[in-house]
Amino acid sequence: MSVPVITIPTDKLVQFGLHIADTIHYQLPPDELVRHCLRRGEGVLNDTGALVIRTGEFTGRSPKDRYIVKDEITADAVHWNDFNQPIDQIYFDKILSRITAWLNHLPEIFVRDCYVCADPRHRLNIRVINENASTNLFAYNMFLRPTDKQLEHFQPDWHILSAPGLRLDAAQSGTRQHNAVVISFRHRLILLAGTGYTGETKKAIFTILNFLLPREKNVLSMHCSANKGPKGDTAIFFGLSGTGKTTLSADPGRRLIGDDEHGWTSDNIFNFEGGCYAKCINLQEDKEPEIYHAIRPGALVENVKFFQGTDQINFEDGSITENTRVSYPLTYISNALEPSVGPIPKNIFFLTCDAYGVLPPISRLTPGQAMYQFISGYTAKVAGTETGITEPKPTFSACFGAPFLPLHPGRYAELLGKKIKEQGVKVWMVNTGWSGGPYLKGSRIRLSYTRAMITAALEGALDNVDYETHPVFGMAMPATCPGVPAAILHPRSTWPDPSAYDEMAGHLADWFISNFEKYGKGVSEEILAAAPKK
Ligand code: ATP
Ligand code: MN
């Protein structure tokens, strides 16, 4: 058997003005990349052999510094807003030449070929060019990994140039400040400058897929996790950051399809990525065993601290950021499905972390309510403890992913609505947030209860129980659920003072209603009828 020779793909690199005389580390396996990281001082190993790094100034995405080049492809197609900010071609050219100059002055760079979309009909090849070895490892972990055979004829569709060490001159670059993520659909190029937060890489790719798939392939792209049950039924879990997509999709009783980004075609759903990017804050072995055990050689852990004088991670320490993370290939989850493709979903869960303790821990939605909730995209953000802010903040993010959606939210909502109706999909809303009162007064719903409620819904155990309609929000709340005390199923009865509950429910209803005003004209009567009743 002949072993294919992997050659460094210099032709395209030269096109961007990159010199290739210096050292290019191409397609290194993870163990070699880790050695380079250690040599370069990018990180250290913990006691279980994972690489632990700090991402520097940025420990989260910076949505205000994300731009899309306004050109003949995007001008009329992109829904320009606070997340989809236009930037002129002239500035793109300037930033590109700054990045290539920056990469050219480095003694070494890391190049990797990978792809996204597990369904071969929608596969997109990506070449990642990194200043850092650890960001290259992130690409290995998170994207799909071509075989040696596939590399022989690999043609990149898109390129990512990543230069975390470069500080842009904002005035000259047409940017807000020294860091930026710039996407050009015409050049099929993503520029990352001044930020070392690895998550920018994955969410930039997600953004381009959210543009290309619905427009060119009639595929609904979704910010959701997905898994498949022993009977072959698929479930998907939509939700904003911190609502439980990654945690709840890692279910020992079901095969993991993917933890964050999926496409829904006419005959299947498929994962865009090849890895998981899980939160580590307060990670406990008994509560989230799959994620805990994925922290091993090859995994990349970000912004955690060790117990003093040891190489043991203190998962409770959020002093660098509450957004501590680990990336690892999907294969690190023992029951991950390969390839990451599943049948059309039978159940959809909308996850919300309601810090006001108003929404029921699980409820069933009609198609109209489902569309209303999808377009609203509600969750609440609880401020990090270190800032001293004690009030939660309501967040509405259309389609549970507005920062990543270049098209008008109506495009995605219409596709989802059609699919829910045509396929008769059951839609559930799950509050993974507070019960018994708001943040600081009540408490977060136990993860074991949330898991039990989801299992019950998936196994049909909620199909023939009594339901009560929520008086304000209208969703159907089951009166009983196996494995869960009935007393927690109706949120009002968990509050010590039910009239305080009613008052809070009224506030939340007001926020929903005023957020929805901007969509009012464009949606059907059926959807409008699902608005909260005051
Ligand atoms: P992102 O889009 O940022 O990746 P995500 O939706 O994947 O976010 P998770 O990483 O799953 O969110 O985060 C959920 C967090 O909330 C985890 O740290 C989990 O341990 C914690 N948690 C606590 N209680 C619950 C609950 N009842 N249900 C789900 N998660 C819970
Ligand atoms: Mn996640």
Q: Mean pLDDT of residues grouped by 10 in the chain (534 residues)?
A: 51 69 87 98 98 97 97 98 97 96 92 97 97 98 96 92 98 98 97 98 98 97 98 97 95 96 98 97 96 98 98 97 96 96 98 98 97 97 61 94 96 95 96 96 97 98 98 98 97 98 98 94 91 93
Residue 107 near residue 118, CB atoms below 8 Å: no
Beta bridge partners of 274: none
| Pairing mode, strands 85-87 and 66-69 | parallel
Both tokens of 393, joined, read: 């903040």
CA 75 to chain centre: 26
The CA distance from 150 to 147, in Å, is 5
| Alpha-helical regions (H) of 394-477 | 409-423, 447-458
Nearest ligand to the CA of 237 is 1
Residue 246 near residue 234, CB atoms below 8 Å: no
Q: Which atom of ligand 1 is nearest to the CA of 351?
A: 6
Find the 447 Cα to ligand 1 centroid distance in Å.
9
Q: Which of 281, 74, 284 is nearest to 188 (CA)?
A: 74
Find the 246 Cα to ligand 1 centroid distance in Å.
7
Find the 28 Cα to ligand 1 centroid distance in Å.
32
Assign 182 to helix, strand or coil. Answer: strand
Nearest ligand to the CA of 431 is 1
Look at ligand 1, atom 30, and give the residue with the nearest C-alpha: 244
349, burial (CB in 10 Å: exposed 0-12, middle 13-18, buried 19+) = buried
Query: Residue 478: how many CB atoms within 10 A of its CB?
Result: 25
DSSP label of 313? E
Query: Residue 288: how many CB atoms within 10 A of its CB?
Result: 20
Strand order in the sheet with 180-184: 23-26, 108-116, 124-130, 158-163, 189-193, 180-184, 66-69, 85-87
Find the 524 Cα to ligand 1 centroid distance in Å.
33
Residue type present at position 274: G
Residue 273 near residue 144, CB atoms below 8 Å: yes
Look at ligand 1, atom 26, and give the residue with the nearest C-alpha: 447
Catalytic residue positions, numbered: 61, 203, 223, 241, 245-246, 260, 325
The CA distance from 129 to 524, in Å, is 46
Look at ligand 1, atom 22, and give the residue with the nearest C-alpha: 447
Find the 356 Cα to ligand 2 centroid distance in Å.
22
Query: Residue 25: how many CB atoms within 10 A of its CB?
Result: 17
Query: Residue 515: how many CB atoms within 10 A of its CB?
Result: 18
- Residues at CB less than 6 angstroms from ligand 1: 239, 241-248, 260, 278-279, 281, 288, 432, 444-445, 447, 450
The CA distance from 363 to 355, in Å, is 17
Beta bridge partners of 393: 381
Question: What pLDDT, on a 0 to 100 scale, did the predictor assign at position 520?
Answer: 83
The preferred substitution site among 206, 227, 238, 243 for testing ligand 1, maximizing ligand atoms within 8 Å of CB, is 243
Both tokens of 267, joined, read: 């005959």
Q: Which atom of ligand 1 is nearest to the CA of 287?
A: 20
Nearest ligand to the CA of 280 is 1
Question: What pLDDT, on a 0 to 100 scale, did the predictor assign at position 21?
Answer: 60
Distant-in-sequence, close-in-space partners of 490: CB < 8 Å, separation ≥ 6: 360, 468, 477, 479
The preferred substitution site among 206, 247, 271, 481 for testing ligand 1, maximizing ligand atoms within 8 Å of CB, is 247
> What pTM was computed for the model?
0.95
Q: Which atom of ligand 1 is nearest to the CA of 225?
A: 7
Find the 301 Cα to ligand 2 centroid distance in Å.
14
Q: Which atom of ligand 1 is nearest to the CA of 277?
A: 4
Question: What pLDDT, on a 0 to 100 scale, did the predictor assign at position 246?
Answer: 95
Q: Which atom of ligand 1 is nearest to the CA of 278?
A: 10
The preferred substitution site among 279, 290, 448, 453 for testing ligand 1, maximizing ligand atoms within 8 Å of CB, is 279
Nearest ligand to the CA of 203 is 1
Both tokens of 508, joined, read: 């939340």
The CB-side HSE value for 57 (13 A sphere, CA atoms) comes to 11
Look at ligand 1, atom 25, and give the residue with the nearest C-alpha: 447
Find the 459 Cα to ligand 1 centroid distance in Å.
22
Question: What pLDDT, on a 0 to 100 scale, did the predictor assign at position 454?
Answer: 98
Question: What pLDDT, on a 0 to 100 scale, did the predictor assign at position 242?
Answer: 93
